[in-house]
């Protein structure tokens, strides 16, 4: 599909807004569940802070939620592209890009709030 053809496809802006809010909520819920599970498994002592500093634990806590939600959206994008449902394809693609952008500026927003 060419860029010109992609831009000519109708866009469901309401769907983009609803899906962005929904998947942002799912991302926040997954982050909360990960933090809660980590706290319940390791507690709040000095050993848990050393475990939290390991690179793979940090990678899991920071990027697993966006990988799960993004993987689901990529699956939906591929499925709808094969079915030639281009409006849904474009809606999910734009939603995925917005979620990736919001997730990438999450740390800056946390520092701004705190």
Per-residue pLDDT, 47: 82
Q: Which residue has the higher pLDDT, 83 or 45?
A: 83
Q: Is the pLDDT of residue 72 over 70?
A: yes
Per-residue pLDDT, 114: 63
Residue 52 exposed, middle or buried by CB count within 10 Å (0-12, 13-18, 19+): middle
Q: Is the pLDDT of residue 109 over 70?
A: yes
Q: Is the pLDDT of residue 64 over 80?
A: yes
User: For residue 43, which phi and psi values (nearest 5 degrees)?
Assistant: 80, -155
Q: Is the pLDDT of residue 45 over 90?
A: no
Per-residue pLDDT, 52: 83
Residue of 100, 22, 28 lying closest to 67 (CA atoms): 100
Q: Which residue has the tokens 């959206």?
A: 73
d(CA 11, CA 36): 38
DSSP run (H or E) holding 10: none
Q: Is the pLDDT of residue 2 over 80?
A: no
In the predicted model, what is the mean pLDDT of residues 50-55? 86
% the chain with pLDDT above 90 = 40
State if pTM tops 0.85. Answer: no
Residue of 60, 2, 9 lying closest to 35 (CA atoms): 60
User: For residue 23, which phi and psi values (nearest 5 degrees)?
Assistant: -70, -25
The vertex-45 CA angle with 43 and 50, nearest 5°, equals 100
């Amino acid at each position: 599909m060419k860029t010109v053809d992609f831009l000519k496809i109708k866009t469901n802006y309401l769907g983009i807004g609803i899906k962005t809010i929904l998947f942002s909520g799912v991302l926040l819920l997954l982050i909360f569940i990960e933090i809660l599970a980590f706290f319940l498994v390791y507690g709040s002592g000095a050993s848990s802070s050393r475990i939290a500093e390991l690179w793979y634990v940090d990678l899991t806590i920071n990027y697993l939620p966006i990988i799960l939600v993004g993987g689901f959206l990529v699956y939906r994008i591929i499925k709808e592209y094969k079915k030639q449902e281009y409006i849904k394809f474009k809606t999910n693609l734009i939603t995925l890009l917005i979620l990736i952008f919001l997730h990438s500026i999450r740390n800056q927003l946390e520092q701004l709030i705190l």
